[in-house]
Chains A and B, each alone.
Chain A
Amino acid sequence: MKSFDYFEPHSLEEAVGLQQQGQGRGCWLAGGTDLLVQMKEHVRQPGLVINLKKIRGLDDFHFDSVTGLRLGALVTAREVETSPLAHQHYAGLARACTDFASIQVRNRATVVGNICRASPSADTLPPLLADDASLCIHGPRGTRTVALEGFCTAPGRTILAPDEIVTHVLVPAPAPGTAKVYLKHGRREQMELATVGVAVSLTMSRGRCSRLGIVLGAVAPTPLRVPTAEALLLDEEPTRDRVHAAAAAAAQACQPISDVRASAGYRRQMVEVLTRRALVQALEVLR
């Protein structure tokens, strides 16, 4: 690791000020599980590292049945994994937080860090996107809220400016009759990057599917929501044929690549299998 200057600001304003003084050459540090590896491998060589852990309010973990879930930038994957509230209302996200890396890493890695890393295979992104999550972003011109959809623009790239901080992720409260599933496919259960990830967030009302999010991970440059698959079930009775058709539409829509973990063809096939399985599991939860 190359040397850098290190700061522990106590407010967002101070943090943004430090970043501006450093002319954007600074890196935010929350969990550090990605940043330290990138610095060791010289992928990133920041002039300064700005640790966000002393900023008050960034450890918020709050659920309200009307306003939904509010997770601060410092909330770790392990906190979500071990939260009964998360399991009850955000089962997909809780699963995603359980299925990544190891306990050692999950005790440090943050959900917001996983979002900002913008990895195509990020585990928390598909369930958050399927739930229509949004992000609070603090910068020199104040705070703005943006939809998570569109935040990631390419592998490792987001719309975030260097002097902006994602302070919170907001996830709407689930409507009655909602079930959520995240299925991660890999060669082993833990210490694995997703070969394919599928998140489903499904709401049933009077026997019909009234709201649906289907999001695919690791099969496109950024996590991919598939409206063409959702449309086949929305406002319909979720029959076996419609579930199968939606799974096929998801496979059609994805843009996988071949790499060390799997071929494009295998990934596409697994998208169909896992989408079908996720929809069936969600419907079983609601039965």
Chain B
Amino acid sequence: MNQVINLTLNGEPRTLMVACHRTLLDTLRLEGGLTGTKKGCDVGECGSCTIIMNGKLVNACLVLAVEANGAEIITIEGIQRSALELHPLQENFIKYGAAQCGFCTPGFIVAAKALLDENPRPTIDEIRFAMAGNICRCTGYTKIVQAVDETAREMQENGREAL
């Protein structure tokens, strides 16, 4: 059984034909051509497929594509401001060496974006709490937490537009 879905993908209206048993994750990667969202565990445990759906952080592997009909979706590709300009979170992940193999990084950055949208000045504990659904097997979490903390600090200094 196939169905046509209409959704807003990183600000752009899109119409996609999907099989009902297709996950949103596979749809984003295969039909949407957005391969920044990664497929790790595929059962909601690793966070590498983290996206923002209707303002809420979710695992794209645990959402059926048909459920995204009418939804507004933001993926890692929608966080970068333009081809030439990175988001401050991305800048700080580079600056602090918060990525090694990089597979988990899109999920972490999307989760951090959702956190800072909700809570612009989180404590270290709040950052760690918000990132608990994202797993990194290379770097450890210290540099990731530092990068998010620094972004929040910059945002405080430069005003909210920094994000």
Residues on A facing B (Cβ under 8 Å):
1-6, 29, 32-33, 36-37, 39-41, 49, 51, 53, 78, 101-105, 107-108, 189-191
Q: Does B162 have its Cβ within 8 Å of any Cβ on chain A? A: no
B133 touches A53 (CB 8 A): no
Q: Which chain B residues in 1-56 approach chain A with CB under 8 Å? A: 1, 3, 19-21, 23, 42-45, 47, 50, 56
Known A3-B1, A4-B1, A5-B20: A103·B43 in contact at CB below 8 Å: no
Residues on B facing A (Cβ under 8 Å):
1, 3, 19-21, 23, 42-45, 47, 50, 56-59, 61-64, 66-67, 111, 114, 129-130, 132-135
A32 touches B57 (CB 8 A): no
Q: Which of B66, B111, B114 has the most CB of A within 10 A?
A: B66
B59 touches A104 (CB 8 A): yes
How many A-B contacts if CB must be within 8 Å? 87
Please provide the 6 A-B residue pairs with the shortest distance between their CB atoms, ordered closest to farther: A102-B133, A190-B132, A6-B20, A107-B56, A104-B59, A104-B133
Can you list 23 pairs linking A and B with CB atoms under 8 Å apart?
A1-B21, A2-B21, A3-B1, A4-B21, A5-B20, A6-B1, A6-B3, A33-B59, A36-B61, A37-B44, A41-B43, A51-B64, A102-B132, A103-B57, A103-B130, A103-B133, A104-B59, A105-B59, A108-B58, A190-B129, A191-B45, A191-B133, A191-B135
Question: Complex Cα distance A104/B1, Å?
Answer: 28
The interface residues of chain B lying within 8 Å CB-to-CB of A103 are 57, 111, 114, 130, 132-133
The interface residues of chain B lying within 8 Å CB-to-CB of A53 are 67
Question: Complex Cα distance A1/B66, Å?
Answer: 14
The interface residues of chain B lying within 8 Å CB-to-CB of A49 are 20, 64
The interface residues of chain A lying within 8 Å CB-to-CB of B56 are 78, 107
Look across to chain B and name the residue whose beta carbon is closest to the beta carbon of A37. B43
A36 touches B62 (CB 8 A): yes
